[in-house]
Amino acid sequence: MKRQTFRSVAPWFVVVSWSWLAAAVFAADTAYEVEVRADVKIPMRDDVELAAHVFLPKAEGKFPAVLARTPYGKGGTGGGPGRFYASHGYVYISQDCRGRGASAGNWEPFVNEARDGKDTHQWILDQPWSNGSIGTMGGSYVGYTQWTSAPNAGEYLKAMFPVVPLIDPYDDIAYMGGAFQLSLMMGWGAGVSGKPGVRGWNNDDWQRAFRTLPLCTWDTAIGAEVQYLRDWIAHPHFDGYWERSSIQGRRKDIAVPIYAVCGWYDLFANSVLDHVNAVKKTSRSEHAKEHLHVLMGPWTHGISRDGRVGSLDFGKAAVVDLNAIQAQWFDQWLKGEKAGVEDWPPYRIFVMGRNQWRDEHDWPLARTQYTPYYFHSKGSANTLKGDGRLDTTKPAQEAADRFVYDPDDPVPTLGGCNLGKCPIGPHDQTKAEQREDVLVYTSDELTSELEVTGPVKVILYAASNGTDTDWTAKLVDVHPDGRPFNLCDGIIRARYRESSDKPTLIEPEKVYRYEIDLWVTSNVFLPGHKVRVEISSSNFPRFDRNPNTGHPFGADAELKKANQTVYHDAEHASHILLPLIP
């Protein structure tokens, strides 16, 4: 069987691109000639018509449908998943989202997908070739079009197969810990706007655009007003604007088997696990609860074709054939064939370091031992040459560490769970760790394996002379040759330290407790390696720069330096909480 490949269909997001499956995946008697109906107009409830290519088996009878709704172009009619699925007894529908491709209406990300998805489902059910069963597929934003139309979809929705899926816009792509995901939102948002301003831009052009101030007028960087770009800045916390596109209050109404695919270095890594777990916990459907699966690999926003991800090689084991898995999934739930998926584990995770797959029955793992690793120094943890240490001994009286955060000279993004015009995945962090505004805490060299699998967070006791600022944290695996590679990271905006929707400024020089969510990982620190944590106040351009002024978000053209202090003593025991697996 040929391996899954991914191609870019927008400058920053990727979706599944099909390679042909071997016929052995399906029963030998399911080969059909294919009829293609191009640019079929599907009416929505407001009479706007969305365009779709419909691929059908040339045969009498009724068939299950597989639907993909995309803003990236529904593709051609010559090959790909449409002809493949139709030749094997499915009707495949590839539809342009509202206002995209050949579809009518106005394009605004997220807003219309739940309604348009439901209307498209109903159209499918009304067709003479429909047997009343629908499955959905696709990656990234095409995953969002699946998730948002799933609540209360009815028994006709039999299966979902979202790959690296966006699920909930506010938490997934807009804001993290109160900080704006600048590179992603500006890059992707501008790219799908239909405006020509960014065409042909090089990296220097993007770096200048990312520095646009004030952020409330950031669309001027692309030379055209795009209202939704401004709206994203105007709504920095979860409010009615974001709630209309959210599924957070609707997950109990999802009653469909889901096979979700993601990667430890994908920007949706945390979201996929959280949302699948929420459906598993709250769904009104026992059938759905029993058939929810997550496949987590060592990937970024797409599946590696050769095992290489970022600057690391995870080996051939990291390459999987999603086509075959998806075919079995749909055969089971849409055709009623015994494809063996009932025996699949709820979670199949790739354990980095060992570079092996492992099946698990729960997430986080029930056997997890959450263990604090405390920060230590004599007051000079700045840079990788400083005196910062990391161990399980709680600190007594120790000098605090200090640095100056200058938003005009932010710490550069060097990989991670991001997407856009900056490095993605695992990369050497030496350049960041050479900076005076990065505190570095490192363990002794390990003499035995140390497995970290699960959610990771940092508890930080810190003060600033500003009324608002940011704190960043990063978990790093230091290899025996000294190269430090990032595993997971996070950020917290000080004004959001207590509430994600009711921000409050800080008092200058007052010590506050911050909880920084570093999301998730699965990695074995091998003998000879070291565990490292980086603490700073910026990660640019992945996140916007906090100007340290305390002014309303997006309004600042002014940038101020901030004097930052990180405490690690008996009263303020800053630490990283690692999910250790015995």
Cα 380 to Cα 332: distance, rounded to the nearest angstrom: 59
Q: Is the pLDDT of residue 37 over 80?
A: yes
Q: Which residue has the higher pLDDT, 55 or 2?
A: 55
Q: Which residues of 167-186 are buried (b: 16+ CB within 10 A; e: fewer)?
A: bbbbbbbbbbbbbbbbbbbb
Instruction: Give percent of the chain with pLDDT exceeding 90.
Output: 88
pLDDT grade for 542, boundaries at 50, 70 and 90 = very high
Confidence (pLDDT) at 11: 34
Cα 194 to Cα 426: distance, rounded to the nearest angstrom: 32
- Return the domain boundaries, the chain: 5-173+241-360, 179-235, 369-580
Overall average pLDDT of the 40-49 stretch: 98
Overall average pLDDT of the 287-315 stretch: 96
22, 11, 10: which is closest to 324 by C-alpha? 22
pLDDT grade for 566, boundaries at 50, 70 and 90 = very high
Asked whether this chain's domains 5-173+241-360 and 369-580 adopt the same fold, the reply is: no
Q: Which of 122-131, 335-344, 466-475, 545-554 has the lowest mean pLDDT?
A: 335-344
Q: Is the pLDDT of residue 283 over 90?
A: yes
Domain 5-173+241-360 part of CATH 3.40.640.10: no
What homologous superfamily does CATH list for 369-580? Galactose-binding domain-like (2.60.120.260)
pLDDT grade for 279, boundaries at 50, 70 and 90 = very high
Overall average pLDDT of the 340-362 stretch: 96
Q: Is the pLDDT of residue 559 over 70?
A: yes
Instruction: Give yes or no for a contact between 19 and 84, defined as CB atoms under 8 angstroms apart.
Output: no
Confidence (pLDDT) at 203: 86
Q: Is the pLDDT of residue 10 over 50?
A: no
Q: Is the pLDDT of residue 21 over 50?
A: no
Confidence (pLDDT) at 19: 32
pLDDT grade for 425, boundaries at 50, 70 and 90 = very high
pLDDT grade for 171, boundaries at 50, 70 and 90 = very high
Beta bridge partners of 94: 53, 68
Contacts of 444 (CB under 8 A, 6+ apart): 391, 530
Other CB atoms closer than 10 Å to residue 580's CB: what's the count? 16
Helix axes 182-191, 203-210, angle to 10 degrees: 120
Give phi and psi for 128, each to the nearest 5.
-65, -20
Q: Which of 62-66, 141-145, 247-251, 511-515 has the lowest mean pLDDT?
A: 247-251
Confidence (pLDDT) at 30: 58
Give the angle subtended at the CA of 532 by the CAs of 529 and 533, to the nearest 5°: 165
Overall average pLDDT of the 525-532 stretch: 98
* DSSP H helical ranges for 48-98: 80-87
Confidence (pLDDT) at 451: 98
pLDDT grade for 420, boundaries at 50, 70 and 90 = confident
| Count of all residues that appear for the chain in the document | 582
Active-site positions?
Answer: 140, 266, 301
